[in-house]
Structure 1
Amino acid sequence: MSTSHKISVHCPYKLQKCIVDIPADNSFGDLKVLVSERIGIEPRFFKLVFRGRERSEGDALYAAGVKDGSKVVVVETEEYLQKRRKELTSHGLFDDVPMEEDSQAGAPAVAEEHDEVKRQIEAIRGEVDDLNAQVRELQESAQSGPPSDAGDSRADSDKKLKIVMELLTQKLLKLDSLDASGSA
């Protein structure tokens, strides 16, 4: 039993809003078991994707950066999709359409969403590059040695550095908030 504090993890699956409370030091495998109970699919039939990457069951939530309120996307495996398709087809509830044609139906919307996320990332990258240039300037001025009134200059440099660090933190938070999960 874990003694770690609990975090709430959002695990969207289709139209379900699955929120799981789990100790922060648990693994993705533990999360997978809890999600499985909520959505009714065996753990072997889905993957968990966090920040655009599939996570293995042994990965620790805290080590991957999962925090209270984080979103971990549930993605069905190909095996599950084929199994489900066979079940529906055998009951006459689904026309037997090849998987390739079926998956292409939503491709334009996904591509458009992907392009929008790409644009947002590029905009943030430009802002981070500007901040990086400011950091370099501050480093160069610090390395060039103190001018005659070092006290005032040092205080100004520290203040500028704190401002740049805060701006960088804001950009990273902005990047983290982008929904880049797609259909991984």
Structure 2
Amino acid sequence: MLRSKSSKPSSPAIAGDTAKAVDEWEVRPGGMLVQKRNPNADAGAVAFPPIPNIRVRVKHGSAYLDVYLSPQSTFGELKKLLSERTGLHPLDQKLVYKGKDRDSSAYLDIAGVKDRSKIVLLEDSTAQAKRVLEMRRSAKMEKAAKSISQISVEVDKLALQVSALDAAVSKGVKVGENDVLNLIELLMTQLIKLDGIAVDGEAKQQRGMQVEFTTLSLIWISMF
């Protein structure tokens, strides 16, 4: 009778190579099999020296300002540095280089700015006026929203009193006429306040909702 030959066990060297090969691969979340990245792979990468800063001479009025920054900076970043030196808001600045007004998103090196290049700083009166108007508008809207919130708190308190009177009436308790008239007067006062608030946008919608709620409270108490 012939005996079947038993398979020879894998040698440790082969098994080790197989385990190493398997360990070099990984499955990404999408199911793709890729080779693992060596965390130390970048250790031997060539390190490029940092780009040295350049000195830019900025003429502001009769004065000259020396600013040091990377040539890969934008004109907007230069404006921020100049704002610290001049107190002029970055949005109110115009930077003119080689006779052209440069956009804040433009890069110095791409525009040709080099060490010791000269740039002229001008005040943009149009942008300044626009920014001031926007600040005033924002402050006005913020004040209006605060006023509406304060009125909302007062109306909520009055609505609770209306609800309490309604509960009393439901139980057969006689409600004083002066109490009803007083609540009506207070609710009307809040409506007048709401009507005097000039708003637009989101605040306008907020005011409209508050007017509607206050009016419903008035209708409710008028039914007593």
TM-score, normalized by length of structure 1?
0.41
TM-score, normalized by length of structure 2?
0.34
Rg bigger for which structure?
A: 2
Which structure has more relative contact order (CA 8 Å, sep 6+)? It is: 1
